[in-house]
A and B are shown apart, each in its own frame.
Chain A
Amino acid sequence: MAEERKELIKLESGEAEQPFCWSAGVYGSKFLTELRDNKRFVGVKCPKCGKVYVPPRNVCGPCFAELTELVPVSDEGEIVTFTVVSFGFVDPSTGKQKPVPYGYAVIKLDGADTYILHYLDETDPQKIKVGARVKAVFEEERTGSMLDVKHFTLLER
C-alpha cells in the first residue's frame, strides 16, 4: 500500500485582535499633554533620592517612594546608546511593516536621570556616537503620544 500522504494543516487567526485602551495615569497624562500642547518635556522627582524620572512614573523602585513633584526637563540631551535597525518587522501598534533602516537611541535629556527611547535622523552607525548631543524635533500635528516627537536630530555631525 502506498504511504499515505501527510497533510499538516495550519489555522490562521486572521483578523482576530484584542483591542486595548490603556491608562497613562496622572503624571503620564501630564507628560503627554505637555508634549502635545507645549512641546515640552516634564519629569517627576523622587522626594527621597532626588532622581528625576522621564517619562514619569508613580513610584521610585529603589526608594519605594511615591513620586508627585513634576519638574521641567530639556528637549536636548545626549545619546546613551544606539542602534540602526535594518531587519524588517511588523509593528504591532500599526499592523504595518516598519520602514527600515532607522536609527534609534536611548537618550538622556538634560535634567533627567532616566532615559527615553526615540528615533534618530541618522542611519549610518559610523556617524552616530555614544555621548553625542541631540535635540527633539516635533511633529506639526500632535496627538498626545511619544510620536509627537518626530525624532531626535544629531546636533554635531
Chain B
Amino acid sequence: MEPVAVVGVGMTAMRRERRKDGYADLVYEAVCLALEDAGMTIDQVDNVVTVSNDFFDGRTISSMAIQDACGSYDKNVSTVEGDGTFGAFYGLMRILSGSFGTTLVCAHHKGSESEMALITNAMFDPIYERFLGVEAITSSALQARAYMDKYGVTEEDCALVSVKNHGNAFRNPVAQLPLELTVEEVMASPYVAEPLKVLDCCPISDGASAVILASAERAAKITDKPVWVRGVAHCCDAYHLGDRDLSDVRALQYAARKAYSMAGISDPRQEIDLVELYDAFTYMELMWLEGLGFCDPGDGGKLTASGATALDGKIPVNPSGGCLSGHPVLVAGLNRIIECVLQLRGDAGERQVDGVRAAVAHGVNGPCGQSHCVWVLGGER
C-alpha cells in the first residue's frame, strides 16, 4: 500500500442533546476544526466522503442535509452508510487510486432526535426476528451472556471496563459522560437486559467528526506531524444471530490479521502501544481485545483486572473514555481513529500516553459486532 497519512482531525463535543445544532451545524463545526487542525482551506480538499445513516436521521438520502456544510461544492463526493472507520476506508481508497491527493471524511449523528431502540430494531430481519423487539441492547445482552458463559467472564470483569473508561473521560474535553465509579456502583446499577446493567451501556449522544487524509506527496506540504495509515481491513460475519457463535470473534480476528499483516506487525502485544476500540457495551471491550489479539480468548477480563489496559498500563485501551463515555453512532469509529492520531502526534492533552508509536483504531457495523474494521496507525511510515 502506498503511504497515506491523516493530516487533520476535528471532533465536536459529544453531548446528550445538542438542540441548537442541526446536522449541518455539527458537520460544519467538525469540518472547520479538521481544516484548522491541518492548516488547510476547503479548496485544498480534493474530494469528500460523508458518513450518515438514513434510519438514524429519519431521512432517506441522509447526506443531502449536509452537502453545503461538508464543503463538497463542485467536488467529487460520496456517502458511506456505516461506521466512520468504513467511511474513512473509502476515503483512503480514493487517494490510493491516484485520483485524489486529499480526502475529507466527515460523519454525523444525533441520537437525541429519534427512538434508538426502534431504529436498531430495524437492523433485524422483518419477517423472522424484528417482531421479537430485539434491538442493539437486547441482542448485545445475548452476546454478552454467550461470551461470559463460555469463558467464565464475570459481570465484575465487565464492570472494570466501565470504571476505567468513564474515569478516563475526565481527561477528554469532548467526552459526554465522565464518571467517578467503583465496581460496586456499576454492579449496583439496574439491569437493562441481563447481564447488561445501565453502567455497562454507552449513552445516547449527538456529535460529528471529520478527518482529512492525504497522499505522502500532499501530506509533506500540509503537515510536519503526519500520522500514517499502516494497515486497514474489514470483515463481516453471518447475519442471523442464530447463524453465528455469538461468543466467537472470527470476523474481527480476520480483519485484524489482515491489517497487521499490511502493517508488518507480527505480535500486536509487543508492537502496538495503544488501542481505541468500539466499546458500546463493557463486555465488547473484553471481546474485541481478544479478537484483536491482545490476549487469548476469554482472557479480556484478566487483562483488564491486571491494569494493563489502564491509562498508565502496558497497553492503554480507550484513554479517551471510549464509546461508553460518548457514542454518536457512526461518528464513533472516526473518533477512534482521531484519538489514535492525537496520541501518535502527542496532542492528546491530559489523556496523552507516553511513547505511542503504533496504535489500533476499531469500528463496528451491524448487530453484535457483525462487521469489524481495524486500522493500524503509526507515527512512521
* Contact string against B for A residues 55-69, beta-carbon threshold 8 Å, 1 for contact and 0 otherwise: 001111110101000
A24 at the interface (CB under 8 A from B): yes
Chain B residues lying within 8 Å of A22, measured Cβ to Cβ, are: 22, 58, 113
A25-B25, A26-B20, A59-B28 known; A20-B67 Cβ under 8 A: no
* Minimal Cβ-Cβ distance residue in A for B71: A64
**Which of A11-19, A31-39, A119-127, A143-151 forms part of the interface with chain B?**
A11-19
A94 at the interface (CB under 8 A from B): no
B55 touches A58 (CB 8 A): no
- In the assembled complex, the CB of B267 is this many whole angstroms from the nearest CB of chain A, namely 45
Chain A residues lying within 8 Å of B25, measured Cβ to Cβ, are: 25-26, 58
The CA-CA distance from A57 to B42 in the complex, in Å, is 19
What does DSSP make chain B's interface, helix, strand, loop or mixed? loop
* Contact string against B for A residues 64-86, beta-carbon threshold 8 Å, 1 for contact and 0 otherwise: 10100000000000000000000
A58 touches B69 (CB 8 A): yes
Chain B residues lying within 8 Å of A28, measured Cβ to Cβ, are: 22
A58 touches B24 (CB 8 A): yes
A19-B114, A23-B110 known; A59-B126 Cβ under 8 A: no
Chain B residues lying within 8 Å of A58, measured Cβ to Cβ, are: 22, 24-25, 28, 68-69
- In the assembled complex, the CB of A23 is this many whole angstroms from the nearest CB of chain B, namely 5
A57-B68, A59-B68, A64-B42 known; A19-B115 Cβ under 8 A: yes
The CA-CA distance from A17 to B118 in the complex, in Å, is 8
B20 touches A23 (CB 8 A): yes
Chain B residues lying within 8 Å of A8, measured Cβ to Cβ, are: none
A23 touches B113 (CB 8 A): yes
The CA-CA distance from A61 to B69 in the complex, in Å, is 7
A18 touches B119 (CB 8 A): yes
A selection of 12 A-B contacts at a CB cut-off of 8 Å is: A18-B118, A19-B114, A19-B115, A21-B112, A21-B113, A25-B20, A25-B25, A57-B68, A58-B22, A59-B28, A61-B73, A62-B73
Spell out B's residues near A (CB within 8 Å).
Answer: 18-22, 24-25, 28, 42, 55, 58, 67-69, 71-74, 110, 112-115, 118-119, 122, 126-127
Spell out A's residues near B (CB within 8 Å).
Answer: 11, 13, 16-26, 28, 57-62, 64, 66
